Structure 1
Amino acid sequence: MRGGDGSGGSGVVGSGIGAPARRQRRDGALRREAVLDAGLEIFSTVGLHGASLDQIALRAGLSKTNLLYYFRTKEDLYVAVLRRVLDVWLDPLHALDAESEPAEALKRYIRSKITLSRDAPRASRLFCLEIVQGAPLLRAELEGPLRDLVEAKAAVLRGWIAEGRIAPHDPRHLVFAIWAVTQHYADFAVQVEAITGRDLSDEAFFEQTVESTQRLILASLGLS
């Protein structure tokens, strides 16, 4: 009986300890995400050098001391924000594989990229700003994971070319062209609106942009 009572008591105590620990981890993760969100907002508005940790902490609803628990320096936070942006951007590219039907796979990828330009324009503009400045804090990511993924997908595109499924093009330039067109609607949103009087929040304009870009890219590959 004592053993049974002891086990039962131990289980209750363990459960009681585990729940607060799980809540603490969850709350910590939420605070970290809040800091990253605030960092994106501030950095995309005033840049790395114009931003301060005080501004970001205020935007995140935390004290500066709490912010420094998650990120030791402003540069650490900036790189973390950029890495998160890169992860989100590259996720749709993973879906391109050799077994996919080229036209449908490329249409999905283009739609995903323009959706990101609509839903996360600040992220796109911040990344663009970093690249224009020479990517001093992100070069390792560009020369490592980014290059590796692009080369892997270039191999998929070369396979499609070899099989006669798409017209011959340098695969890397094809990827660059898709990035350039789709991200234009975020990076140069003011110019797009000035010329057309519309932006991607307009559902009809969004669909027109997606379909036009799909036709443009697919036509160059002999697809429809």
Structure 2
Amino acid sequence: MNPNAAPVRKQNKRREKEVVILQAAEKIFAEEGFGGATMQLIADAAQLPKANVHYYFSTKEELYRQVVSNIFDVWLQAAGSFEESDGPAEGIGAYIDAKMEISRTRPAGSKVWASEVMHGAPIIQDYLETTLVEWTNSRIQAIEAWIAAGLMDPISPRHLLYMIWATTQHYADFGHQIQTLNHNSPLSEDEWNRAKDSVKTIILKGIGVAT
């Protein structure tokens, strides 16, 4: 009998519970905002007793910060294309693809982030001033290197990033509006692919990159 089996099962069970709670919290924070969300609402969405939620996350703020951190981790992974690509066509193109897919599969996460920032980031300002600043500066350096190599037009890297964020996250933050304009139907697989291709083409051509 494996003496480590029981601790491993316990650890896996804990992780599974945390995932369920975090998914429920992301949904509730997106719908209610930080102020309107309660641990009881999150527990109900997770179909768990409130005491279980408090066992894993002692306060609402702790849970909220973990949700925000998870959202940003997903966005960090999406930006891996900057380091893995030789030029802007592949690097920025793959980043746009990934951000569009995140907006499709994790719309609640984008809404949580947008709501927090639009309210002046009262909970995560320290996160913006450290993690976000460092990440943004590293992306700017990558774009500046591509500009210096003559691979794209000499545009402002910072404003390019802002444009990519605004465009890709629009599909999450304003999903209801898009659905309404799409004959009250969610975008199909083909429509999503056309949207991604269109956004990539417009942005890459706008910075002088052949598609």
TM over 0.5: yes
Q: Which has the larger radius of gyration?
A: 1
Distance 1:98 1:41, change over 3 A: closer
After superposition, the C-alpha distances for 1:157-184 in whole angstroms (9 at most, x for unaligned) are: 1011111110001111111111111111
Instruction: Find runs of 4+ consecutive structure 1 residues off by over 3 angstroms.
Output: 198-201
What's the secondary structure of 2:15's corresponding residue? Answer: helix
In 2, the alpha carbon distance for the partners of 1:47 and 1:158 equals 37
Match of 1:45 in 2: 31
Aligned to 2:75: 89
Are residues 153 and 56 of structure 1, via their aligned partners in 2, closer, same or farther at CA, if it must alter by over 3 Å? same
Aligned pair partner of 2:104 in 105, 118, 128: 118
Unaligned regions of 5+ residues in structure 2, if any? none
The partner residue of 1:138 within 124, 146, 167 is: 124
Give the equivalent residue in structure 2 for 1:4. Answer: none
Q: CA deviation at 1:34?
A: 1.0
- The amino acid of 2:137's aligned partner reads E
Q: Is the 8 A contact 2:85 2:91 kept in 1?
A: no
The number of residue pairs the alignment matches comes to 210
Query: Is 2:114 the counterpart of 1:128?
Result: yes
Length-normalised TM-score, structure 1:
0.88
CA contact (8 A) 1:97 1:153 kept: no
Do 2:153 and 2:207's aligned partners in 1 also have CA atoms closer than 8 Å? yes
**Residue in 2 that maps onto 1:27:** 13
The 5 Å alignment of 1:1-224 reads: 12=1, 15-16=2-3, 18-97=4-83, 100-197=86-183, 201-224=187-210
Please tell me whether the aligned partners of residues 42 and 51 of structure 1 are also in contact (alpha carbons under 8 angstroms).
yes
Contact 1:117 1:186 in 2 (8 A): yes
| Cα distance between partner residues in 2 of 1:156 and 1:171 | 9
Gaps of 5+ in 1: 1-11
Q: 1:26, 1:211 → 2: CA distance?
A: 39
**What's the TM-score once normalised by structure 2's chain length?**
0.93
Superposition RMSD in Å: 1.6
Alpha-carbon deviations, 1:47-86, whole Å to 9, x = none?
2222211121122232222211111111111111111111
Query: CA–CA distance in 2 between the matches of 1:201 and 1:54?
Result: 33
Task: State, as a whole percentage, how many aligned pairs show the same letter.
Answer: 33
Give the drift of 1:198.
6.4
